[in-house]
Amino acid sequence: MNVPDHASLAPAMTVPLPAPPQTPSGPAPASAAGPVPRLAVDRLTAWYGDIAGVRDVSLAFESNRVTALIGPSGCGKSTLLRCLNRMHELVPGTRVEGRVLLDSHDIYAPDVNAIAVRRTVGMVFQKPTPFPTMSIADNVAAGLVVGPPISRSVRDGIVERALRRAALWDEVKDRLGDSPLALSGGQQQRLCVARTIAPEPEVLLLDEPTASLDPLGSARIEELVHELKREFTVVIVTHNLQQAARVSDVTAFFYLGALIETGPTAHLFTAPTQPQTEAYVTGRFG
Amino acid sequence: MAFSPRTRRVVGAAMTGATYSAAALAIIPLVAILLMLVMKGAGSLDWNFFTKSAVPVGEPGGGFAHAIVGTLLIVGVAAAIGIPIGVGAGIYLAEFGGGIVGWLVRFVADTLNGIPSILIGVFAWTLVVRPTGRFTALAGSVALACILVPIVARTTEEMVRLVPNSLREAALALGYPRWRTSLTVVARTARAGIITGCLVAVSRVSGETAPLLFTALGNQFFSTNLLQPIAALPLQVYYYALGPYEEWHRQAWAGALVLILMVLLLGILARLATRSRHERA
């Protein structure tokens, strides 16, 4: 299987790193009084062949918080996200060093099954990806098929609950058997959110979920993110700084594969400590 | 180079005319064959033709029922053998066939595609007829399946490759194992294209004569036994066309017409399958 769009990011990363500041390590600053982070990245380096797309990053993601990963194209934010549910390794020639701790267990430990990780850490992609041969309801239930067997009525209940949580139920409840391709782009993306949360993952990864949507569709997804953080640990990659400011509690800024700065969103946008961060959030590059 | 507007118009018209003529020349053989078959064969198509088997020369009312049923049986069994193998190989090539094994399978399939069909017949004779000691319908099916597999494998591969990678990733991110992703998401998405490929391959082999000469052999009597020689439309047409009797020639024409109508029908089905795919997309 080829994933050319991600592999082609690699050449952008060959630029020598202009002496990034010391990567902040350990848990995010906000955690001083908080609980143990749900998900933590510990000295993670992700390789495409000989090129490191993510370099020695350590970062913690707290429960019921939205963490936004921002930075210019090719900075490694999507690669880092794909390391969190072991999707990175599906690209031929890639490998990962370091640890990703989910509830203190390393998901890269030799006895851990990548498929089980992906059922616990759900992911929504940049473009809506409904399965075209399945009905709307079957799309939502698609992730349940690989779980333990359940009865028809339980399944229908889960489908309804997932669609309600994704704020799509009222729009599709009368046409659950129809093709998802009749839905608008924004509805398709909410369908993908419903499909991802139906199997009850613990962490939700959103990879530029509004990049292909119009402003209205984007607004619906952002509202949804606010709702979803009540139940999930949410990590969102976005190119849209306003969006990061609106939806996230914590923001992490990446540049050329390195984590430059992380902190509470309001703080990072108003009083960044690193010059690169300031240049990026004020729109001077990227 | 600069041409005057007039020259450009003349050259443009000439080129357009040339492509129209080429298109017309290309369909002349098909139209001519169809017209010829209808003129010479339609007259012999009656109820007996479809319900009766061959009768001794001079006796009226014989038909091609044994050959029609024989062709349906041979091709049906060939499809049952060849389509699962071909579709499976095609999915393998598209989803997992990046390495040296994939290259090898592709190379063998392409080579097999180019082998004259009479050699396939000889191969099936060596494989089935010789060890079992008799000509059988099954041997004919094996021969046709050998032609079917590479065609189906390569078209399936093309169709599966068209499925966007984002769908694969979406399924894998839901915790689908690779095999399940390939079968339930990727192959299902490519289903219409795969079916079209299978129908095209089946219509291609249903007209094959040479591979059946040393395998199914042909039979003047009605038979549905897969372990006995069996009649087939192309064989019956071949034998009757070579025969000395006027009546046989007329029936051979009619048989050829029925054969081409069957192929046309499969082609139309394939078109319908493709069209519904475009409508859904």
Could you report the per-residue pLDDT of A272-282, keeping only the tens digit for each? 999 999 999 98
The whole-number mean pLDDT for each consecutive block of 10 residues of chain B, a chain of 281 residues, reads: 86 96 94 93 90 86 92 97 96 91 94 94 95 95 96 96 95 94 93 92 93 92 92 94 91 94 90 63 39
Low-confidence ranges of chain A (pLDDT < 70): 1-35, 286
pLDDT at B273: 77
Structural domain contains residue A194: yes
pLDDT of B1:
61
Strand partners, A40: A60, A101
Give the residue carrying structure tokens 């993110």: A225
Fold of the B67-280 domain: MetI-like fold (1.10.3720)
pTM above 0.95, yes or no: no
ipTM over 0.90: no
**Å from A281 to nearest chain B CA?**
30
Which CATH number fits the domain that encloses residue A208?
Answer: 3.40.50.300
Number of domains in chain A: 1
- List CB contacts of B236: < 8 A, sequence separation 6 or more: B54, B64, B66, B67, B218, B252, B255
Judge whether A201 and A121 are in contact, CB under 8 Å: yes
Maximum alpha-carbon separation in chain B: 76
Residues of B in contact with A129 (CB under 8 A): 164, 166-167, 169-170
Closest Cβ–Cβ partner in A118, A179, A181 for B173: A118
User: For an interface test with A, which of B91, B174, B280 has the most A Cβ atoms less than 10 Å from its Cβ?
Assistant: B174
Note the pLDDT of residue A24: 46
pLDDT for position A35? 59
Q: Which residues of B touch A2 (CB under 8 A)?
A: 98, 165
What pLDDT, in 10s, does the model give residues A232-271? 999 999 999 999 999 999 999 999 999 999 999 999 999 9
Q: What is the pLDDT of residue A208?
A: 94
Residue in B245, B274, B255, B198 with CA at minimum distance from that of residue B71: B255
The SS3 assignment for B44 reads: helix
Which residue range forms the structural domain that includes residue A271?
A: 4-281
Q: Is residue A286 part of a domain?
A: no
Q: What are A's interface residues with B at a Cβ cutoff of 8 A?
A: 1-3, 85, 87, 90, 92, 115-116, 118-119, 122-123, 125, 127, 129, 131-134, 142-143, 145-147, 179, 181, 192, 195-196, 199
